[in-house]
């Protein structure tokens, strides 16, 4: 038996389809697991991230219950800890020129051992204390800073 007849008689099509599917699903599964592996390891190495993750979830849940205006207000306010850190960021920004690069500020924050520099910097951006100047650099809005921490 030769040709298509032989392929049909020996279940060639179905064996090929099953084979290709298994090889693909095996490697897809492996690639998905591997792509998440470093994130899981990072979480396990720093348990505070897990806590932060659940805290964030709670906050999001709370915010979901509030109206959009209130949510916008929450984004623009800082809690006491954040205010303290914002003051430290203010000192750091003061050591730099009026227009500064964000990675540089972040580096200084990390060198100065500020707590959670990434998330706090993000908060300062959200509250618009740090504002982009349109040329890839950022500036420190002193008025807004004063109003926010007062």
Partner 1 sequence: MEALFIEFFQNTGFYLCDYRYIIMILVGLVFIYLGIAKDYEPLLLVPIGFGMLIGNIPLFKGLGLGIYENNSVLHYLYFGVTQGIYPPLIFLGIGAMTDFSTLMARPVLMLLGAAAQAGIFITFLGALALGFAPNEAASIGIIGGADGPTAIFLTAKLAPRLIGPIAVAAYSYMALVPVIQPPIMRFFTTRKERLIRMEEPREVTKKEKIIFPILAFLLCTFLAPAALPLLGMLCFGNLIKEAVVTERLAQTARNAVIDTATILLGITVGASTQGDVFLTSSSVGIFALGALSFCVATAAGVIFAKFMNLFLKSKINPLLGAAGVSAVPDSARVVQIVGQREDPTNFLLMHAMAPNVSGVIGSAIAAGVFWSLMA
Tokens of 133: 């100047």
Judged by CB under 8 A, which stretch of 9-17, 69-77, 91-99, 103-111 contacts partner 1?
9-17
Q: What are phi and psi of 46, to 5 degrees?
A: -130, 85
Query: Could you say whether residue 13 binds partner 1 (CB under 8 A)?
Result: yes
Q: Are 132 and 138 in contact (CB under 8 A)?
A: yes
Verify binding: residue 27, partner 1, rule CB under 8 A: yes
Provide the minimum distance between the beta carbon of 126 and partner 1 in the complex, in angstroms, as a whole number.
25
CB environment 119-138: b (16+ within 10 A), e (fewer): ebbebbeebebbeeeeeeeb
64 binds partner 1 (CB under 8 A): no
Residues that bind partner 1 (CB under 8 A): 1-4, 6-7, 10-13, 15-16, 18-20, 22-35, 37-38, 41
């Amino acid at each position: 038996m030769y040709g298509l007849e032989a392929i049909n008689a020996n279940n060639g099509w179905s064996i090929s389809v099953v084979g290709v599917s298994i090889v693909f699903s095996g490697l897809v599964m492996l690639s998905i697991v591997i792509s998440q592996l470093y994130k899981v390891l990072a979480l396990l190495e720093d348990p505070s991230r897990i806590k932060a993750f659940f805290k964030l979830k709670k906050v999001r849940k709370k915010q979901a219950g509030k109206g959009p205006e209130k949510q916008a207000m929450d984004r623009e306010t800082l809690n006491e800890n954040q205010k303290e850190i914002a003051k430290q960021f203010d000192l750091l920004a003061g050591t730099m020129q009026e227009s500064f690069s964000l990675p540089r500020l972040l580096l200084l924050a990390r060198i100065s051992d500020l707590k959670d520099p990434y998330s706090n910097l993000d908060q300062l951006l959200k509250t618009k204390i740090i504002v982009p100047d349109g040329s890839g650099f950022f500036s420190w809005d002193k008025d807004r800073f004063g109003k926010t921490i007062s």
